[in-house]
Amino acid sequence: MIVEAVGVTRRFGGFTALQDVDFRLGPGERVALIGPNGSGKSTFVNCLTGVLPASAGTVRFDGTDVTGMPAWRRARLGLSRSFQIPRPFRGMTVRENIEIPLSFIAGGGDRAALSQAADAILAEVGLGRLAGARPRTLSQVELRRLELGRALAARPRVLIADEAMAGLSDSEVDEILDLLLRLNGEGIAILLIEHIMRAVMRFSQRIVVLVAGHKIADGTPDEVMAHPEVVRAYLGT
C-alpha cells in the first residue's frame, strides 16, 4: 500500500468527527471517498495530509509513518491534494501560480527551468494557452484545472482531489474526469472526494463510504451501491 491509515480518530473537544477509520490506497489505484454532508470526509483527508493531527491512529505513506509529520513534509514525499474551493494567487499569472509550488518542492531553482516545468504542467491540464492570464479571467472549469495543476506541481505519487467537479456542468465534469483518468494512467494514485455519483461510478475501482465519522463500506462500486447501510444512509430506507 502507498497510503495506509489505521484506526484514525479525530476529536474536536467532546465531539468525535472520525472514529477508528481504516483506509488503504494501492500504487496507481483509483478510489472514491463518499458520504453525506458532515460524514467526516474532509476531516479524514485533513488527517491524511497533515492539515489536522489525528487524535488517535496512524498514517503511513509508502511504508513510512507520517502520523506526526507536517503537511509540507508529506507533500514533499509525494502526497498532494487539491482543494474544494480554488484559491489561486490572484495577483499572479497562471504560470506563476504553478511556479510557486514547483519552487517549494524543488527547494528553489533556476527561474527559466521553473517556467519550463510550469508550462509542461499547464499543457498537461489543458491551460497552456492561458499561461500569461490572471486567475480572475478564468472560467470555473479552468480554475479547477489550475487547482489540479498546482497539486501536480508537487510531483505527487498520490493525488487527493477534493470535489474537483463541484459546480460544473455535465460536459465540464467529463473534462475533469478525463483529466483525472489520464493522470492516473500515468501512474498517480488518486483519491477522489465527490458528491456527483455519475462521476464516482465512472472513475472508481473502489469506493469507501463514511457516515457520521464511521466507515460503513469499502468495495467495488457495485458492491458498495448494493450495501444495505449505504442505501439507508442515502435513501433513508
Rounded Cα gap, residues 155 and 105, in angstroms: 8
Question: pLDDT tens across 61-120, in order?
Answer: 999 999 999 999 999 999 999 988 888 999 999 999 999 888 877 666 677 888 899 999
Residue with cell 465531539: 15
CA distances to 81, 84, 134, 204 from 155, in Å? 11, 20, 23, 22
CA dist 236 and 234 (Å) reads 6
The structure's pTM equals 0.92
Q: What is the mean pLDDT of residues 156-172?
A: 93
Q: Which domains does the chain have, with CATH numbers?
A: 3-235 (3.40.50.300)
> Quick check: 153 and 118 in contact, CB under 8 A?
yes
Count CB neighbours of 170 within 10 A: 11
Q: Report the distance separating Cα 20 and Cα 34, nearest Å.
A: 17
Name the average pLDDT for the chain: 93
Closest CA to 190 of 5, 34, 26: 26
β-bridge mates for residue 178, sequence order: none
Helix or strand or coil: residue 119?
helix
Q: What is the phi/psi pair of residue 108, to 5°? A: 105, -155
pLDDT score recorded for residue 154: 87
Q: Residues 155-184: what's their mean pLDDT?
A: 94
What is the sign, positive or negative, of the torsion defined by CA atoms of 218, 219, 220, 225? negative
pLDDT in tens, 108-154: 667 788 889 999 999 999 999 999 999 999 999 999 999 999 999 98
